Amino acid sequence: MSLAILVAPAPASNAYAVSTPTVLPGFEEVRANWRSSEAHLLDRNGELLQEIRIDPRIRRTAWTPLSDISPALIASVLKAEDQRFFEHAGVDWLAAGKAALTNTLANLRKEKLRGASTLTMQLAGLLDAKYRARIARRNVAEKWRQMQAAQELEKSWSKAEILEAYLNLAPFRGELSGIDAASRGLFDKRPAGLSDDDSLILAVLIRSPNAKPKDVARRACILAEEKNCNQLNARTFNVLSGRYPILPAANLAPHLAQRLAPGPAASALKTPQPASPRSLPIPTTLDASLQRQVQSVLAQQLRHLAARNVQDAAALVVDNASGAVLAYVSLSGSDSNAAQNDGVQAPRQAGSTLKPFLYGLAFEKRLLTAASPLEDAPLSIATNGGQYAPENYDHAFRGLVSARYALASSLNIPAVQTLKLTGLDPFSARLQELGFAGLTEAADFYGYSLALGSLDVRLEELVNAYRSLANGGRLTPLRYTPVAPKGQAKQTAKRVQSPQASFLVADILSDRQARALTFGLENPLATRYWTAVKTGTSKDLRDNWCVGFSRRFTTGVWVGNFNGSPMHDVSGISGAAPAWAAIMDRLHLVEGKHNSTLQAPKAASGLIRKTIQPAGEPPRQEWFIPGTEPAGDTWQAARGVVEILHPGDAMILALDPDIPPQRQQLYFRARNAPEGAVWQIDESRQETDAWPLTRGKHQLRLIDAVGQILDQVEFEVR
């Protein structure tokens, strides 16, 4: 037999309609076709993570067994609606006779008529619309049909089943339908915990769901036989004075629930649901225990940083092999004015977290090795918007440093030097391959600040990009549910970076000694097991990141303010890093000390290891992609790349009319120029570094002793 739920905003919208005009459904069929207005987000083990509303038209929560309903409520409802419920067979003929006599007199006096509908008769109306009370007065034939339907119900339903179905289907107040929604919405408790006063109020509301509070209180007092009327009156006005919110049964993952919950149509699905059909289940890959732990870690860190104007945080934990998301948390402090924002999806400035992918590109293209020297010195680059002069976080310069030390210690100027080697377009293309959707403009729009994280990224994008490093340069989408959504093709791994370059980057990010140049040896990044990790802080201290991975898990943490206000003296090492370390420790707490997953991964195949002696750094064994290794057993690092410093490329100069032309000169400057190098301006060789300014567009080249162009720029004099 076909059974459908009628969903409408009116209180009677929870009724059932049957396709056969004379046959009502059985109890099991009614319960099996119950549809909640809520969806339940479940963790990987079936534990409830989040309850979320998906039907905006009505509030219908759990189907509640009679054994879980307060005896006080049952007694109050029977007293108000059907005192001989357990004695009649669907129709209370004694009450019907009294009502007929009373209504005859009421008709003569033009008074309000009295009803005599039993609970079974009312249930028939809830199950089939044609037995339901209408605004117009019901005639004798209609009343007789309702009585017949009630008698038929009593033949196949037990009294307990009738009472249970009635309390679950009855409208109570406004959009609240069913005893669980009414109990939670009005009293913030489950039906089992309803008090005597609560029960009297609900018993009155069944008859008059939208009655005024004073009328409900008066009728409840009559039902209580004039006992405790003052208390009942106060209680009634308290619970019926405003909106009736229902606190979620679980509130561990509200942002993911908003993301995964289906639209309103889901609450009216007619397909059977597994087990007890109380809500729409949404299975996820999350682990409820880990979710609680991550929430606790972020809450503790927010309390610690509250005095530094840090109100919001987010964290994402992912299994490296499968891409399954194990924890998804976005949390706000008590003073946050944007707690509804989802920090996992919110675009925020990346800071230094993009540097590993820049160096990975340079390694893969063989433009750099981990031992290559990069100059950490004052730098100024001419751009269309003017001179770009990056600085390190601590405003210090360290001279020549290897790429390993530059990346591990997050030095800004060497990163910009590396971007000049790779080029803007190739790096932009690499970031797009890694899944960063914020690259909506041409690479020139972002300029060289792209190396320092001027791009807006999402935490989930960043975590998955780092996960690709853990997986040897292979990228697959993250998974929030155990199975892919219907219609979505199975995603195969995409190669975004070579295994060798990925290993080099991961090895550098795990190097405690190389990191010490900026962060010291003792810091939250120095875990007791192998991890590769990077911090990042955006301009004006608005965003703070820490993202890293072990062999099994990748974790990302963001702290800051959703409203964009800057933090006060909070860096990656003091903001996000402590939370990242605490989460990683919890993930690896159960692992044995000698478990292979806690050890460093094996080097990618084909890499070569050589002993080197970089300038200014301790001797070490370094990894090289074949063909980039030094010839001998040891190697003294060479000088950095040759570069014209002044004039800058695309620079525009102007002659001063108040200064004699012969005294207006431009002085050329270069970095790392070899002995014997000479200047060439346009097509003429320049014997000195001083050149008299001449109007027009010019090309300046630096040429070595054999005529090879080492660097060139173009500029204009007006």
Contacts of 314 (CB under 8 A, 6+ apart): 298, 329, 330, 331, 342, 343, 344, 346, 459, 557, 558
What local confidence, expressed as pLDDT, does residue 9 receive? 32
Q: For the domain 3-33+62-245, what is the CATH code?
A: 1.10.3810.10
How far is it, in rounded angstroms, from Cα 457 to Cα 467?
15
Pick 643-717's CATH classification: 1.10.150, 2.60.40, 3.90.550, 1.10.3470: 2.60.40
- pTM for the model: 0.81
How far is it, in rounded angstroms, from Cα 243 to Cα 236?
14
How far is it, in rounded angstroms, from Cα 342 to Cα 407?
30
What local confidence, expressed as pLDDT, does residue 696 receive? 92
> Quick one: CA torsion of 578, 584, 585, 591, rounded to 10 degrees?
-170
How far is it, in rounded angstroms, from Cα 317 to Cα 55?
31
Q: Across the strands, what pairs with 282?
A: 41
Whether the Cβ atoms of residue 24 and residue 226 lie closer than 8 Å to each other: no
Q: What residue segments make up the domains of the chain, in order of their start?
A: 3-33+62-245, 318-610+617-624, 643-717
Whether the Cβ atoms of residue 401 and residue 515 lie closer than 8 Å to each other: no
Q: Three-state SS across 148-193?
A: HHHHHHHHHCCHHHHHHHHHHHCEEECCEECHHHHHHHHHCCCHHH
3-state secondary structure of 281: strand
Q: Across the strands, what pairs with 314?
A: 330, 558
Half-sphere exposure of 467 (CA within 13 A, CB side): 29
Torsion sign across C-alpha atoms 97, 98, 104, 110: negative
How far is it, in rounded angstroms, from Cα 649 to Cα 411?
24
- Give me 59's structure tokens: 């509030």
Identify the H or E element spanning 71.
helix 71-81
DSSP state letters, 531-581? -EEEEEE-GGG-EEEEEEE-SSEEEEEEEE-TT-PPPSS--TTTTTHHHHH
**Residue 357 Cα to chain centre, angstroms:** 23
Q: What is the mean pLDDT of each successive set of 10 residues along the chain, which is 718 residues long? A: 30 37 82 90 95 90 94 94 88 66 46 65 87 59 81 92 95 93 94 95 92 93 89 92 85 94 53 47 96 97 94 97 97 87 96 97 95 86 72 82 95 93 94 95 90 94 98 96 68 90 98 92 91 93 95 97 91 90 90 68 94 84 92 56 80 84 84 85 87 90 87 88
How far is it, in rounded angstroms, from Cα 464 to Cα 433?
12
In single-letter form, the type of residue at position 696 comes to G
User: Alpha carbon of 497 to those of 319, 406, 639: distances in Å?
Assistant: 20, 20, 28
> Which single residue is written with the structure tokens 């049952």?
74
- Topology classification of domain 318-610+617-624: Beta-lactamase (3.40.710)
How far is it, in rounded angstroms, from Cα 74 to Cα 679?
99
Half-sphere exposure of 512 (CA within 13 A, CB side): 12
How far is it, in rounded angstroms, from Cα 331 to Cα 634?
51
3-state secondary structure of 51: strand
What local confidence, expressed as pLDDT, does residue 97 receive? 57
> What are the helix (H) ranges across 567-701?
577-587
What local confidence, expressed as pLDDT, does residue 608 receive? 94
Residue 70 has what DSSP assignment?
Answer: -
In single-letter form, the type of residue at position 591 comes to E
Q: Same topology for domains 3-33+62-245 and 318-610+617-624, yes or no?
A: no
3-state secondary structure of 129: helix
- What b-and-e string marks burial along 110-131, b requiring 16 or more CB atoms within 10 Å of the CB? eeeeebbbbbbbbbbbbbbeeb
